[in-house]
């Protein structure tokens, strides 16, 4: 008799286990391991969230009308071409399920966000990984790996954990080089932090093509990681396919209300941007002063390479930081064995991190 077993691919999914402070006294920890907003949510989102509490015996709006309208208003895009999910992670899963399955290939880049791999495996499709160049996406390498079986091409721009980005012109080159049957999914989770003249989140690429989808999140700039809200903007047919795959009540009442308020709260966005613009360069500079190699980041985190002294591995650094009550993220699962990803925190958190690193590296 055959035993119960999950379908092929599921067993190959690497479990995602974020670092966690010990259960006792965890609140006192400086947690720079996840790429969240150190300022927390804005007051407008909090107010809307609390106000929604009286409605939680109801099911949420399956059409996500208020939230889609608010996103459309904020970014000046058509709400009919938007759909929302429980975090951009769910959106990545939904679009993968809708467009790829067993026998199909899905293209990613070497140090691309690992959520893509999970979604590809869960859908039973085959991941194909294109090499990067110096931790930056190599568009030509991606185009080279595309073929008749390539259903989706994922591009995180900017990317986590490298913190690097490619300019809009390169995204357009990638799009033009992919076969027309391949859906280019632009994961723009960190777009709000990347205000560069040669960068855009991909809105106009979506507008000019029928095989490009942009995915965004409320977890970073908008400070709502715990509520789980993400959204996608794309061609009507792609949005319809995702809506067919998604559960009707996938984004809760409280999450829809808070996100609708957050996306229109440009004041909180500006405060967050200003905080990041001040502390990202400070942290980069201070880390270099204690001998850490810092990769240039356009995000709210830094990829830091720890000096390669064999007696001082990344684990020893992590252990020392833990003794000081500080958590950062090792990224060995990306093949970056001597690197740490450090999120920009509040002033006192950034200073505590630099002081603790200085103790062990000097
Ligand atoms: N894309 C990228 C590039 C990310 O870094 C993350 C968060 N780690 C996500 C998507 C998922 O974010 P969420 O599900 O919280 O929206």
The predicted pLDDT at position 2 comes to: 81
For a substitution probing ligand 1, which of 164, 191, 216, 217 has the most ligand atoms within 8 Å of its CB? 217
What is the C-alpha separation between 47 and 43, in angstroms, rounded?
6
d(CA 47, CA 52): 9
* Sign of the torsion formed by the C-alpha atoms of 145, 336, 341 and 293: negative
Q: Which helix (H) or strand (E) holds 326?
A: strand 326-327
Ligand 1 centroid to 217 CA: how many Å?
A: 7
Distance 89 CA to ligand 1 centre (A): 6
- For 27-40+267-361, the fitting CATH number among 2.40.50.320, 3.40.140.10, 3.40.640.10, 3.90.1150.10 is 3.90.1150.10
Please answer whether residues 84 and 229 qualify as being in contact, where contact means their C-beta atoms are separated by less than 8 angstroms: yes
CATH C-level class of 43-264: alpha beta
Q: Is ligand 1 within 6 A of the CB of residue 88?
A: yes
CA of 88 to the centre of ligand 1 (A): 6
Domains 27-40+267-361 and 43-264 share a fold: no
Quick one: pLDDT at residue 250? Answer: 98
Q: Which atom of ligand 1 is nearest to the CA of 91?
A: 14
Q: Is 162 in the pocket of ligand 1 (CB under 6 A)?
A: no
> Which pLDDT does position 73 carry in this prediction?
98
Separation between Cα atoms, residue 222 and residue 246, nearest integer Å: 23
What pLDDT is recorded for position 317?
93
The tens digit of pLDDT for each residue in 11-41 reads: 888 877 777 766 655 568 899 999 999 999 9
What local confidence, expressed as pLDDT, does residue 28 receive?
80
Which two three-digit tokens encode residue 139?
């568009």
Q: What are the boundaries of each domain within the chain?
A: 27-40+267-361, 43-264
Prediction ipTM score = 0.99
34 ligand 1 Cβ < 6 A:
no
Is 110 near ligand 1, meaning CB less than 6 Å away? no
187 lines ligand 1 (CB under 6 A): yes
Q: Which residue has the tokens 């994922």?
A: 154
Measured CA to CA, the distance from residue 166 to residue 32 in angstroms comes to 25
15 Cβ neighbours under 8 A, 6+ residues apart: none
The DSSP call for residue 362 is: -
219 within ligand 1 shell (Cβ under 6 A): yes
Mean pLDDT by groups of 10 residues along the chain of 362 residues: 85 78 69 96 98 96 98 98 98 98 98 97 97 97 98 98 98 98 98 97 95 98 98 98 98 98 98 98 97 96 86 87 95 93 98 95 84
Would you state the pLDDT for residue 16?
77
């Amino acid at each position: 008799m055959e035993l119960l077993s999950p379908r092929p691919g599921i067993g190959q999914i690497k479990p995602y286990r974020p670092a966690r402070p010990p259960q006792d006294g965890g609140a006192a920890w400086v947690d720079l391991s996840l790429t969240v907003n150190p300022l927390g949510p804005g007051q407008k989102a909090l107010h809307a969230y609390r106000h929604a509490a009286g409605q939680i015996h109801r099911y949420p709006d399956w059409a996500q009308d208020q939230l889609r309208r608010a996103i459309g208003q904020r970014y000046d895009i058509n709400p009919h071409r938007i759909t929302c999910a429980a975090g951009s992670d769910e959106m990545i899963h939904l679009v993968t399920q809708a467009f790829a399955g067993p026998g199909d290939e899905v293209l990613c880049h070497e140090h691309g966000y690992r959520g893509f791999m999970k979604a590809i495996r869960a859908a039973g499709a085959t991941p194909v990984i294109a090499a990067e160049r110096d931790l930056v996406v190599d568009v030509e390498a991606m185009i080279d790996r595309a073929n008749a079986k390539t259903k989706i091409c994922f591009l995180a721009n900017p990317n986590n954990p490298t913190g690097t980005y490619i300019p809009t012109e390169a995204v357009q080159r990638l799009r033009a080089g992919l076969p027309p049957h391949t859906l280019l999914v632009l994961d723009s989770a960190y777009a709000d932090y990347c205000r560069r003249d040669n960068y855009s989140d991909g809105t106009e690429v979506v507008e000019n093509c029928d095989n490009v989808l942009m995915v965004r999140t409320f977890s970073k700039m908008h400070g709502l990681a715990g509520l789980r809200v993400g959204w996608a903007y794309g061609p009507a047919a792609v949005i319809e396919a995702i809506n067919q795959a998604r559960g009707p009540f996938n984004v809760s009442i409280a999450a829809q209300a808070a996100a609708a308020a957050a996306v229109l709260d440009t004041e909180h966005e500006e405060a967050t941007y200003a905080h990041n613009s001040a502390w990202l360069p400070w942290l980069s500079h201070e880390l270099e002063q204690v001998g850490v190699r810092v990769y240039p980041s356009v995000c709210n985190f830094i990829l830091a390479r720890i000096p390669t002294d064999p007696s001082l591995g990344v684990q020893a650094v992590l252990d020392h930081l833990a003794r000081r009550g500080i958590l950062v993220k090792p990224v060995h699962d990306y093949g970056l064995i001597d690197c740490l990803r450090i999120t920009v925190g509040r002033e006192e958190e950034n200073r505590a991190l630099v002081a603790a690193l200085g103790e062990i590296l000097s």
